[in-house]
Structure formats: structure tokens, C-alpha cells
Structure 1
Amino acid sequence: MDPIELASRLGRWSAGRGPLYLLLAGRLRALIDDGELPPGTALPTDRALAAGLSAGRTTVVAAYDLLRQEGRLVRRQGSGTWVAGANAGPPVATEPTVNPVFLHLLDPPDHVAQFACAGPTGAPAAVITAYQRALGLLGGPDLGYHPAGHPRLRAALAARYTARGVPTSTAQILITTGGQQGLALLARALVAPGAEVLVQAPTYPGALEIFRESAAALLPIKTGIATYGEELARHHPAMAYLIASCHNPTGRTMPPAERQEIVTAALHARVPLVVDEVLADLTFPDRSAAPPAPIAALAPDADELITVGSLSKLVWGGLRIGWVRAQPALIGRLARLKAVIDLGSGVLDQLAAAELVADLDPLIAERSRVLAARHDHLCAELRKQLPEWRFEAAGGGQTLWVRLPYGDAASYAQAALRQGIAVLPGGSLDPSGGSTDHLRIPFVADSAALTAGVRAMAAAWHGFTGRAAGSPPPLPAIAV
């Protein structure tokens, strides 16, 4: 097994208390006992795993030897290290996710600052008010199952799209349990195993996990090498996935001409273009143009143009309400899939969401203002404490895309955990195999937390073994 792959599976192994070799052995033991490292799996050499974990070789040797004594590993001089036991039983149908975003959610950090995930850190008062109003709307003969979504919320979203220049009927709206489920339903409906999906590199890691779960063949497009529209027309994939506004992770918003080119290419090639607009409204005030109209405004009635939205980043992640805007035929197909999965999202959540959507602009304006201030604070702290790190200011969204001057970001992330902070290495967002020298750093926390977070990152960087003798001199920082 590749050391970086094993490091990803190990997750935040070093974030506990006690000797590092015991922490490493404990996490390896759990992976073996849970079947995630099946019998016969060859493990990296001591040196390779130590480099991948940014740990000392003696830590790996001691952990391996402890598990060998327990009978969980076999180690032979000159032959390597592997999981003990004979292969038995059928293989697992799908591999569990090793993406750090999901691992940090599945195994919540206790004394680790969370800088791997990005989203509002608390429910605003408007959410509580919306739920109070929603309670008053319950009652009557409603069975409570609405696979396509509650009519009240579908109507509220259709009215919002129409007001923004995209004529939309309720038949063009499907309510989902978060934007993530919307992407999952679309992948299930449109992508057969082995079919190609065009994606940006880097892009939202949650989408990449969905496409991999669907056994899709990813076609990553690196920014600056070829335009997205050109590649879409050339490959004719089964589906194209695009973040055009407040891109995750770079914060970039595509200019109008580029957006038009991509839509034109999708319509001409008859390729479903799934546009993720979960972050699209979070442009920073007073420093860029107003948020562009939804891409669907370029072709409101086109079968190929599909939009995914959500309240998770605009309001609060705990409000698991998302949606898909598409033509009625596809919405009906997605609703049938959703009916099989969960019979429909929760009615109370949808009624509360309808209350929020009816007066969403003030909430968005306040969140954008707060994010802009926190963005500036994070930039200032990085310039002061880590001047050799390179980044460009974001125009919106929630994250900075930061380049390390040298070293592997996945190994650095392990070193950061030992300083009590979880960061997301860029390789987990880039299906091309690139961005291994990048980090995605969110600016969703308050100023004090951001300052403390950068201080911990700096402490990890200054002790990072990837900066050992022989490393090139630091690159000059980009002014932001």
C-alpha cells in the first residue's frame, strides 16, 4: 500500500494523548480489526511510512513491532510487513472513504482545532425563528412523505429563481437532504460505471467521493492548461461537474464570457452540465461585482443545464436542505430515486427552510460580510506568521488555496495534527494527482480561533521534517 494512501486511512491518528507509537499502533489495530486492512495487505516500509506521516522511523518500527507481537502483523527481514492471516470471505463491495473531510466528520476531534471542514459554525437566530414558525404550519391531513419535496419549499425556491432571472416552476425543483444528496442522486441517474465525468482540478472533495462511489472515470481539467469548455466538447463525457462561482477551494468566480463558453459547449455536445452553486451567493461585498445570475439564466429551458443548491453554507450545515433545479422529466426521475432512498426529506426542516428562503438575502449579506472580514484576518495572520506560504486572496466563498514552498502537504497535515490542528491537504481535492503541495484553509472561524489556528500551523511548519536540510530556499510570498 502506498504510504500516502495508508496515511489517509489512518486519519488523525496522532491527535490523541500518549506516546506516538502507541497512538499509531492503536489506529492500525482498529483498521485491521474493522477489516479496512484485510489479511495479506502489504504495508509500507518503516522509512516510507515515517516520511508519509512526518514521524520518526522509530515510531513506525515500534508500532509495527507491537502489532507483530499481538499477531496482527507479519514482519520478515527483506520481505516487508503485511497484515496477518489468510484471505477469507467475500471482498467488500466498496472501499470506505479515506477523504480527510469525511474522516474528520466521522471521527470528530476532541482537542483538535477543526480546519479541515468548512461551514457556518453555529445556527443563527433566524434558524430558531424559522423552526418556531414552521411548527405552527404542521397539522392537517398531510401524510408527511414528499419524495420530490414539500410543495411550500419547492414554490419558495421556484419564486427565488424566477426573481433572479431564471423562470422556474415547482416542477423544476427537487428538494434533497443537503446538496450532497443532490449530487449523489444525479450521479446515480446519469453516470454508469466506467462512464466519464469532467471535473475541475482541484474541486469540491465531496463530489469526487460521490463520483468514485459511482465507479466513474474522472477527467480532471487543470486550470490554465485547457479551457473547461474545450475539453467538454472534445471528450463528450456522461456528465460535467462545474463550480463557476466562489470556487471551492480557490474562491474564484468565472467571468461571464467563460461561463457562456462552457454552457454553449455543453448544449452543443448534449452533455449534462451539473453546476454546483452551493457557495455562489457568498461573494465578498465592496470588492467585486455583485453575484452573477445563476448559470441557468443562460439557458433556462435547456435539458442539459442542471443546478445544485443548498442552505448548508448560506445558513447552517445542520439544516440539511438542498435542491436540484432541472427540467421536469429529470426531476421526476430523481424523485423516484429519492423515494426509494428515504421517501423524502423531513417536513419540519423543509417548512423552516421555506421561511428562510422567503427572506434569504439579508442572511446572505450578513454572512458574506462576516466571511470577508475573517478572510482578511486569515490573510494577515498568514503573512505575519508564515510569510513563505503563497496564496492569492479569494473573491468569495469560505477557503484559501495555499501553496507550501516545498514539502508534501499530506505529510505536513500529520505534523499539524500533533500541534492540535486538522488541515486539509490539496491532494484530496485534485483527481489529477496534483496539488500535493497545497492546503485548503477555511476562514469560517472567528478571529481568535483563526489566530490560534495559524499559530499552530506555524509551529507545525517550523518543526516539519519536510523542511530538512537539502530543501530549496523559501519562495517569496505573494502580496494579497
Structure 2
Amino acid sequence: MTPDPAGLADRLGRWSAGRGPLYLLLAARLRRLIDEGELPPGAALPPDRMFAAALAVGRGTVVAAYEQLRDEGRIVRRRGSGTRVAGPARPEPRDTTGAPVFLHLLEPRDDTTILLACAAPAAPPPALLTAYQRALTRLAAVSGDIGYHPSGIGELRRAIADHYTRRGAPTGPEQILVTNGGQQALSLLARAFVEPGGPVLVEAPTYPGALETFREHAAVLRTLPVGLDGFEAAVRTPGRRPDLAYLTATHHNPTGAVLPPLARRRLAAAAAAAGVPLVDDEVLAQLVFPGAEVPPPLAVHDDGVISVGSLSKSVWGGLRIGWIRARRPVIDRLARLRAVHDLGGNLPAQFAAAELLPELGRLCRDSAAERLARHDHLRAELARRLPRWEVPAVTGGQTLWIRLPHGDGDSFAQAALRHGVAVLPGSGLDAAGGGAAFIRVHFLAAPEVLTEAVHRLATAWHTYAGGAPPEPAPRSLAI
């Protein structure tokens, strides 16, 4: 079917209402349509000249936008056959585990699929219920307060500041901005620091939500190995200073790596010397296994490091409380940006979080033994049923980064989903394209659920790889 340039132009909306070169703004909007499935694999895109006429721009703008998306692997361009969204055409919609990761992972399902893709505690802990009871008592006593606090309520800001001070980074409440989860924190930072077309340094692989956020702001992603190894040389390259650098120094998502103390000091010093804003994602930092200490934040080594935190992984995903720790001028700027879109967060949740913060370390220690046991159980089951899979142990966090012996994570994730297990393919976590051989799974489910999940994965793998049938299934579970 011949693509309709005017129709696609209408679907783009106000694509040019932003900062930066038009071709990057156009590429960003097309990228979003592709990633959200509105432009499915195999869909034809309009020819350069026809699309430029429909958009009232020069042909060079369309060509440059198409080239940007081609370099990212989102479209293919062939002389004689035109421009198409990458991937084989599909006659009808079907379940998928491709990018973007958020919509399909977070949508509720009414089947018995075991969800090992999106990691977070499956239920609120008793301590959260107690904290809410106290929060409601506090709320009943509020007067003379209309409830708009773009930076967060003072009590919670002080509690978060004390949390960092206890960990060796002296912090005042004026250095804290409370956000609606860690994802909003990353979005605010991207809005504040990243210009369209500006480079952002990320680890390969890394948290997929961060990649989607930076792409949404039309960043050009540049990758370094886990721990931003090679950072000093990368920022010394003339004309290549990044707008922002992002990493997870503790319990890296997805590999579970922990950056050693010397590397932390060198990285913080190099970022300060180069004037590059360095974001340390600490959402998983508290999730150590028994006997280990939570490493100090990178801000211990330089107060200019920006720390991002959240209670979604350590307490419960439904508690939408996150934060940013930075120098006051940065916090003031972020608060102004936040107020444009969101005049403040939920007050009962903030009162509850203020009750929880002083006990956060103890709460995570109390659950550490169970997390370790489930980590060990999942690895043991995978070793028994899928011995050729490479499944390195981790020292904390929530996920395992698994290398498949052959094939690719995207196609196997489809096979696994057909067998009732959702896993995250590695391609969506690696902006350099090096994650194709990997999948990410979490180990937070109950042992009997993990056992059933591994049975289903083994069945899917033997079908996918053309091997012999797996061992008989364990007792079926109602998931």
C-alpha cells in the first residue's frame, strides 16, 4: 500500500514545537510512533519529497531524519523499495516483548503468564501499611496548606537528606527534590540538561527506562562499558563533551555489577574536571544480600554528582516516591521545570515515605535473606534445566543477565511468551546493539513460581532451539 504523507503528517501532531534542529525533532516523533507500535514493523514510510511537501519542510530535513532512524536500526532504506520500519511485516497485532518496554510490561494481564520481565516487590510490605496509617493521622491534622509542594514536603526532604548524610554525603533538605518515582526524576534531568541532538553517555547495557527517556528528548546516545569504563578518554575528545552521563554504580541494572571504590572516586573526579553532569542511579542501591554493606553514593566523592533514588524497588512499585539529590541551584532549576507539568506529588504518600525513610536500611536487611534464597533457587533451577545458559551470580539487586548459547533474545522472548513466561530481551537495554544474545529476568517471585517459570522456559527453549523435549512439568500453578 502506498503510504499517505498527509495522513502521517497529521499523526505526528506538533512535532516541530521543540528546541533543536528540525530533523532531530522529526526523528524523535517518528521514533515514538515506531516504538509505541503505531508504525508497525514493515510499514512503508512516505518518499522523501512527498513527505517533505506534506510537512512543509525541505527535503533535506526528511532525509536527515530518516538517516538518523536508519542509523538507530529503526528503519531500512533501499533503492527501489523505499523506506520501511525495520522488521518483517505483520498481518495482525500480536503479543510482543519489544521496545518500548513500559507499556506491555506494565499493562495488567488476565492470563497465567509468569512475569519475569519487570522487577518490583509484588505486594506492599506491612511496614508500608503502618506508615500509611500514621500518614493519614498526620493528614487529618493539616490546616492552612493547599497541598501544592513542587519540591516535596519539608519533612520528606529532610528524611531523604538525612538518609544521604548517614551514608557519608552531608546533605541539606534544600538539596532534595521529591518526584513521582525515579522515572520522573530521569525525565526532569533529561529536560534540564539534554539538548536535542546532544550526546548522552550511557552504559551498555543499562536500564531501558533511561534509554527511552533520553531518546524522547532527542539525545544521541554514546555508550561505554558497564561502570562507564573509558569515561576520562571519552570526555577529553574535542567537540564531544556530553550533555549528561548516566550510570548505575550499585547493583547495576541489568548485570548486577557494583563499581569498586577506586573506580567511583576516579569517575566522580573526571566528571567534575570535565564539567559533565554525572547521574548516579541509586534506585537499587539498598538491595544488598546478607553480610554486605551498601556502598556509599558517588556524591561522597564529589558533591556535584547527581543522585537519583526511589522507593519503588526497595518498598513497593505502587509507592510513587522518588527523588533527586543535587546542589541547590540544580534542585531549584528542576523544581521550576517540574512545576510546569506537575504542581506536586501525593501528600499521603509523602507522609508515609517520611515515616519509612529512617527505617529503609532495616527494611531492606530484613528482606535480604529471602531475596538471596530466591536468587540461588532460580540459578539452581536454570543450571538443572538449561545448563548451557550462562547465568552469573550477583551480590544484590533484583535481576539476572543471562547469555543464551545461540539465537537472539528478541525471538526467544517471543517463544517464551507463547509458553507463558515474559522475559526482557537484551536488545532494548543496549544502545550499542550488543545485547542481542541476552535476556533479563528477575528473581523476586516465590520459589514455586520460579520453578514453574524455568520449566516453561526450558520447554520454550527446546522448541526454539529444536532440541529434545524437556523433563516432565512440575505441578501447574495458578499465577
Category of TM-score, reference length = shorter chain? 0.7 to 0.9
CA contact (8 A) 1:407 1:467 kept: no
Residue deviations 1:109-133 (CA, integer Å, cap 9, x gap):
6321111101111100001000000
Counterpart of 1:98, as a letter, is: A
Match of 2:222 in 1: 219
Q: Distance in 1 between matches of 2:415 and 2:82?
A: 25
Number of residue-to-residue matches in the alignment: 386
Match of 2:24 in 1: none
Q: 1:72-471 to 2 correspondence within 5 Å? A: 98-106=99-107, 108=109, 110-138=111-139, 139-223=142-226, 226-234=229-237, 235-286=240-291, 289-300=292-303, 304-464=304-464, 466-467=465-466
Counterpart of 1:329, as a letter, is: P
CA contact (8 A) 2:205 2:430 kept: yes
Q: Distance in 2 between matches of 1:80 and 1:179?
A: 40
Cα 1:233–1:317 shift into 2, 3 Å:
farther
Match of 1:36 in 2: 38
Counterpart of 1:284, as a letter, is: F
Q: Distance in 2 between matches of 1:430 and 1:320?
A: 26
**Shift of residue 79, structure 1, vs aligned partner:** 7.7
Residue deviations 1:177-198 (CA, integer Å, cap 9, x gap):
0011000000000001000000
State the percentage of identical aligned residues.
53
TM-score, with structure 1 as normaliser:
0.76
CA contact (8 A) 2:227 2:247 kept: no
CA contact (8 A) 1:228 1:262 kept: yes
Residue deviations 1:145-180 (CA, integer Å, cap 9, x gap):
000001110011111211221111110000000011
Q: Structure 1: which 5+ residue stretches go unaligned?
A: 2-30, 44-77, 84-96, 470-480
Q: Distance in 2 between matches of 1:260 and 1:372?
A: 29
Q: Distance in 1 between matches of 2:314 and 2:229?
A: 32
Residue deviations 1:402-430 (CA, integer Å, cap 9, x gap):
00000011000111111011110000100
Q: Distance in 2 between matches of 1:39 and 1:220?
A: 26
Cα 1:389–1:359 shift into 2, 3 Å:
same
Q: Distance in 2 between matches of 1:199 and 1:142?
A: 41
Q: Structure 2: which 5+ residue stretches go unaligned?
A: 4-32, 46-79, 86-97, 469-479
**Shift of residue 265, structure 1, vs aligned partner:** 0.8
Cα 1:383–1:192 shift into 2, 3 Å:
same
CA contact (8 A) 2:402 2:440 kept: yes
Cα 1:306–1:223 shift into 2, 3 Å:
closer
Q: Distance in 2 between matches of 1:104 and 1:42?
A: 27
CA contact (8 A) 2:99 2:428 kept: no
TM-score, with structure 2 as normaliser:
0.76
**Shift of residue 362, structure 1, vs aligned partner:** 1.4
Residue deviations 1:232-270 (CA, integer Å, cap 9, x gap):
444421100011000000111010111111111101101
Counterpart of 2:133, as a letter, is: Q
Q: Distance in 1 between matches of 2:342 and 2:215?
A: 22
Determine helix, strand or coil for the equivalent of 1:358. helix
